[in-house]
Amino acid sequence: MERVPIDYSVILDCAAGILYNLDMRITTWNINGLRAALGKGFEERVRALNADVLCLQEIKSRADQLDAAQHASLTGLYPYITWNPASRPGYSGTATFSRSQAVQEYLGMGLPEFDGEGRLIASRFPGPLQDVLLFNIYFPNGSRDLSRVPYKLDFYARLLEWCDGLHSEGLKIILTGDFNTSHTEKDIKNARANAGSTGFLPEERAWIDRYLEHGFVDAFRNLYPDKIEYTWWSYIGNARGNNTGWRLDYFLVSEALMDRVTAVTNHTEVMGSDHCPVSLDLRD
């Protein structure tokens, strides 16, 4: 199945005051159910994050499942929203919210075995990101019984094939979202206890290594080599209160883009999901 981009015309109306800032913030957040989050502080939290582009994962809904008030609330936050829901109701799905209209978009990888789960949106925007393809990704979970680990690893492999091709063409890439893998022992509270759990299996962690060998940089770990922070906590056993967590949410950026990255922030204080938002700040 051929991967076909969705192209949009772009109108830059300076008279109307449409300007692009020299600095840009991209925020990723696994919201664990968008409809559940709406009306429960989601809007206020998103405004405080002040992102130019907001990448949501695990939205668990389609646009037509939101009522008029919910749509109004979301478009009041961002005028442009791209949806890629899963075909299965109440499951998976991604959405990208932005202040400017994308000039190019891909919904999925053009692979039916993955695209029905709504796991990927790739976007290129005008302004500071015009030379960058931004991927909003919800990587598969390997499942508690490990039955989906092969599917997860195949997703990693097929995405890297695409990225290798883009890098060979000279394009810069930002991969962000819920990777569903903690890369090193610095990224998980109880490494030994979770050595046999999906999300910390050697074969899963090796795929993060492979991405770093193929021209990507873990922006957070590059800037803060020794910082211990997590982005996901179980709802069980007061894990968040005890900070018994995992770092599952990343920004992997092309090596050629890393000199524009000024900060990566894990917003550990922001509630509303079992994940916290993570922000990447860029300068043009």
Provide the annotated active-site residues: 178
Is-contact 123 104, C-beta < 8 A? yes
Residue environment code for 76-111, b if the CB has 16+ CB neighbours within 10 A, otherwise e: eebebbbbbbbeeeeebbbbbbbbbbbbebbbbbeb
Is-contact 199 178, C-beta < 8 A? no
Sheet with 80-84: strands ordered across: 80-84, 94-98, 53-57, 23-30, 278-283, 261-266
Measured CA to CA, the distance from residue 213 to residue 165 in angstroms comes to: 15
Query: How distant is the alpha carbon of residue 187 from its chain centre?
Result: 17
Q: Supply the DSSP string of 203-224, one letter for each residue.
A: HHHHHHHHHHHTTEEEHHHHH-
For CA atoms 155, 262, 268, 36, the dihedral sign is negative
Is-contact 49 279, C-beta < 8 A? yes
Query: How distant is the alpha carbon of residue 26 from its chain centre?
Result: 9
